[in-house]
Structure 1
C-alpha cells in the first residue's frame, strides 16, 4: 500500500475537547499534528494487520493494583509506614 498516495478521504471523530487539547500539545512537542498522528495510526494498523497497541481487559490483580494507587495508604507516623512496609515484605 502506498501511504504517500493522494490524500482524498476524510476521517472525522468526536472526542472530548480536553482530550484533543492535551493530545495536540503533546503531539506538537514531537513535531506532529492530529492529522499526522491519525495517519500514522492507520498506517500501523495496515502494516501490522491489527491494532498497534495491545488492548486487553485488565485482570482482577491488575485492577486491584490500579485502585490501590488511586487510593494511597496514609500513615500517622514514619514508624507506622516502616511497619507496614516490613509487613508487605513478609508475604
Structure 2
C-alpha cells in the first residue's frame, strides 16, 4: 500500500465545512476519507465525477420556490416518481 505523504490544504467557509462534516459523520467517514474518495473517482473517471454546470432558469426558479417555503416536497425519489405517474 502506498504511503500517505502528500498533503492538501484549502480554505473553505466554516458553514460549508460543518454541513459536509455532519453528513460524513452520518455515513461514517472522515473528511480525509471523503477527499480520498473524490480523488479516486476523478482518477477512475478521468474527470470530475459529477456534472459541473450552471442550473437553467427552471431549476433556479424551483430552488427559489422551495427556499421561499413553497412548492411540493417529497420524502423520497420514489414518492416523486409516484406523484409524476399520478399526474398523467
TM-score normalised by the chain length of structure 2: 0.68
Return the match for 2:34 from 23, 37, 46: 37
Which protein, 1 or 2, shows the higher relative CO under an 8 Å CA cutoff with sep ≥ 6? 1
1:28 & 1:50 partners in 2: Cα distance?
26
1:59, CA displacement in angstroms? 1.2
TM-score normalised by the chain length of structure 1: 0.66
Aligned to 2:44: 47
1:21 pairs with 2:18: yes
Structure 1 unmatched ranges of 5 or more: 74-88
Question: Could you say what secondary structure the match of 1:22 adopts?
Answer: helix
1:22, CA displacement in angstroms? 2.2
Bigger radius of gyration among the two: 1
1:33, CA displacement in angstroms? 0.5
Paired residues, what number?
71
1:22 & 1:64 partners in 2: Cα distance?
24
